[in-house]
Amino acid sequence: MWTRGYGSLWWSSRPLRACGIHACANWHNGEVPTERSADLFQRARRVSPGGVNSPVRAFKAVGGTPRFMTSGEGAWLTDVDGNRYVDFVGSWGPMLLGHAHPQVIAAVQEAVARGTSFGTPAEPEVALAEEIVERTSVESVRLVTSGTEATMSAIRLARGVTGRDRVVKFAGCYHGHVDPLLAEAGSGVVTLGIPGTPGVPAHVTADTIVLPYNDVDAVQAAFAEFGGQIACIITEAAPGNMGLVPPAPGFNAALARIASEHGALFISDEVMTGFRAARAGHWELDGQREGWAPDLVTFGKVMGGGFPSAAFGGRRDLMEYLAPAGPVYQAGTLAGNPVATTAGVTTLRLATPELYTDLLATSLRVRELVGEALVGAGVPHVIQAAGTMFSVMWGVTDPVTDFAGAQRQDTAAFAAFFSSMLDQGVYLPPSAFETWFVSAAHDDAALTTLSEALPAAARAAARALDDRP
Contacting residues toward ligand PLP, per CB under 6 A: 146-148, 151, 174-176, 236, 241, 269, 271-272, 300, 310
| Alpha-carbon span 433 to 416, nearest angstrom | 15
**Least gap, CB of 306 to ligand PLP (angstroms):** 12
The smaller minimum CB distance to ligand PLP, of residues 65 and 151, is found at 151
Q: Which of 79, 87, 269, 295 is catalytic?
A: 269
301 given a catalytic annotation: yes
| Alpha-carbon span 406 to 191, nearest angstrom | 11
174 given a catalytic annotation: yes
The smaller minimum CB distance to ligand PLP, of residues 32 and 385, is found at 385
**Least gap, CB of 309 to ligand PLP (angstroms):** 9
213 given a catalytic annotation: no
Contacts of 375 (CB under 8 A, 6+ apart): none
The smaller minimum CB distance to ligand PLP, of residues 86 and 182, is found at 182
**Least gap, CB of 307 to ligand PLP (angstroms):** 11
The smaller minimum CB distance to ligand PLP, of residues 310 and 322, is found at 310
CB 219 within 8 A of CB 255: yes
CB 71 within 8 A of CB 78: yes
The smaller minimum CB distance to ligand PLP, of residues 40 and 311, is found at 311
Contacts of 291 (CB under 8 A, 6+ apart): none
**Least gap, CB of 197 to ligand PLP (angstroms):** 15
**Least gap, CB of 68 to ligand PLP (angstroms):** 20
**Least gap, CB of 170 to ligand PLP (angstroms):** 11
The smaller minimum CB distance to ligand PLP, of residues 151 and 388, is found at 151
**Least gap, CB of 96 to ligand PLP (angstroms):** 14
The smaller minimum CB distance to ligand PLP, of residues 272 and 297, is found at 272
Q: Which of 85, 87, 295, 301 is catalytic?
A: 301
| Alpha-carbon span 314 to 122, nearest angstrom | 22
Q: Which of 174, 213, 356, 427 is catalytic?
A: 174
Q: Which residue number places its CB atom closest to ligand PLP? A: 147
CB 271 within 8 A of CB 147: yes
- Catalytic center residues: 174, 269, 301
